[in-house]
């Protein structure tokens, strides 16, 4: 009672709402992030990006709207500390200099910092090989701090700082030999290796480090809810789904294959791009995913013929071509029209799978190995207690169709089940490259 009277008489200020309460009262949370290919970007007027998807999931978790601000790397921290946002979600490495200024969430990814060079730049095996070299990094990053640690350890290197230049741009400059060396976290380096296959992850310059979200010191309630959210999405599969959307199988890398793919995007795809786009639109597919499938099937070669007798851009069998109304499998437009129509019929048959992304992965696998074998793999998944509507389950059970122990009790029998798993992986890699090209 006395405290209330004193407060009302002006003796002390009323207790201020916590940041979490302010968010709930406003019905909105403001995330501060970076505008790049892995944090946040706009494609066809729609927001996207790994950090954006996590932030959107958190806003939904709080039942509030999401606002995103991208003030630029050099201004992100002052924006947070001055109250212009609630959370920084920008793949921030937890380092002591930052932890003195802000409070960090539990880790959601673990990374290492790697030296990035061109494949022709030889003789880089460890930090001592940086003696006398110039390393280009964005200012204010953990990369800059780590390079300073190497200098303190006696490595005579020069640090070239770039203000508000994304790491992806510096990797591109390495690929084009405009600069010699940069640094990137493993997740960024592995992803960009797809786009710039001439780049090499030479060696690490840090131990294992954690990425986390940052809030102001004192926003303990908000931090507690963030940590609870991160734990929940780790357990229920939401985090893995978002991660795979942007970093699907990034560890898979075939230099020759990716170089050939990039070249044929310029030399072969243009002749068929218009037809692929129009037919994909007709059936509600992303044309870039269909183009990735076509490349996996034929490398954009309309005369391609496999040892099994399938033929054309979309490698149609005689029976499938007849069913889809294709009279000449080597005719690019007929093949594209018939192949996408067939893809659509497969997609429609998986109507029991509610998640569109999962449904598409099942469809792609069926295009390769056959609808019946995919349903058999679902049966095996159910027998093993796995989720029959998740591609992650079929990654485990499709390969089992090679063994009599399993295929003898299925309807469609034997299949080379590892093949559709690799098939889908490669298509997703090509698709990711095509999506990235659409942004540049």
Active site residues: 297
The burial of 106, by beta-carbon neighbours within 10 Å (0-12 exposed, 13-18 middle, 19 or more buried), is given as: middle
Q: List strand residue ranges (DSSP E) for 61-198, in order.
A: 65-69, 87-93, 102-104, 109-111, 113-118, 134-138, 158-162, 181-185
CA 433 vs. chain centroid, Å, equals: 11
Instruction: Give Cβ neighbours of residue 219 (< 8 Å, ≥ 6 apart).
Output: 18, 19, 20, 86, 103
Angle made by CA atoms 283, 422, 262, in degrees to the nearest 5: 70
Sign of the C-alpha dihedral computed for residues 223, 74, 47 and 39 taken in this order: negative
* Dist CA 387 CA 396 (whole Å): 11
CA atoms of 62 and 55, how far apart (whole Å): 11
Question: DSSP string covering 178-199, please?
Answer: SSSEEEEEHHHHHHHHHH-TTE
Pairing of strands 113-118, 181-185: antiparallel
Return the SS3 of 151.
helix
**Cα(203)–Cα(189) distance, rounded to whole angstroms?**
12
**Cα dist. 384→3, 136, 278, 331, 406 in Å?**
62, 50, 41, 44, 12
1 has which bridge partners?
none
């Amino acid at each position: 009672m006395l405290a209330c009277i004193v407060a009302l008489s002006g003796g002390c200020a009323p207790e201020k709402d916590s940041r979490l309460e302010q968010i709930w009262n406003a019905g909105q949370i403001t995330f501060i992030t970076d505008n790049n290919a892995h944090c946040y970007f706009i494609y066809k007027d729609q927001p996207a990006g790994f950090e954006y998807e996590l932030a959107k999931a958190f806003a939904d978790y709080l039942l509030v709207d999401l606002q995103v601000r991208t003030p630029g790397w050099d201004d992100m921290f002052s924006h947070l500390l001055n109250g212009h946002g609630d959370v920084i979600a920008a793949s921030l490495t937890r380092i002591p200099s930052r932890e003195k200024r802000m409070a960090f969430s539990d880790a959601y990814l673990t990374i290492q910092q790697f030296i990035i060079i061109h494949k022709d730049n030889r003789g880089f095996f460890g930090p001592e090989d940086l003696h006398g070299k110039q390393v280009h990094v964005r200012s204010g990053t953990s990369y800059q701090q780590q390079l300073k640690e190497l200098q303190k350890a006696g490595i005579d290197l020069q640090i070239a700082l770039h203000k508000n230049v994304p790491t992806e741009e510096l990797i591109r400059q390495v690929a084009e030999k405009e600069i010699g060396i940069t640094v990137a976290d493993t997740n960024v380096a592995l992803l960009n290796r797809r786009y710039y296959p001439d780049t090499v992850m030479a060696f690490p310059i840090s131990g294992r480090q954690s990425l986390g979200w940052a809030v102001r010191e004192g926003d303990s309630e908000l931090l507690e809810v963030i940590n609870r959210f991160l734990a929940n999405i780790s357990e229920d599969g939401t985090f893995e789904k978002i991660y795979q959307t942007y970093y699907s199988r990034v560890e898979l890398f075939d230099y020759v294959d990716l170089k050939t793919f990039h070249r044929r995007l310029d030399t072969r795809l243009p002749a068929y791009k218009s037809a692929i786009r129009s037919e994909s639109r007709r059936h509600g597919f992303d044309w870039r995913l269909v183009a990735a499938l076509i490349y996996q099937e034929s490398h954009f070669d309309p005369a391609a013929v496999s040892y099994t007798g399938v033929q054309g851009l979309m490698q149609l069998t005689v029976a499938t071509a007849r069913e889809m109304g294709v009279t000449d499998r080597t005719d690019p437009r007929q093949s594209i029209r018939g192949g996408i129509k067939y893809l659509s019929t497969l997609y429609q048959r998986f109507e029991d799978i509610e998640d569109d992304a999962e449904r598409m992965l099942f469809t792609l696998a069926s295009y390769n190995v056959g609808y019946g074998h995919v349903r058999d793999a679902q049966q095996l998944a159910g027998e093993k207690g796995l989720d029959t509507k998740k591609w992650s389950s079929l990654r485990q059970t499709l390969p089992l169709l090679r063994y009599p122990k399993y295929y003898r009790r299925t309807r469609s029998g034997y299949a080379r089940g590892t093949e559709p798993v690799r098939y889908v992986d490669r298509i997703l890699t090509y698709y990711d490259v095509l999506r990235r090209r659409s942004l540049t």
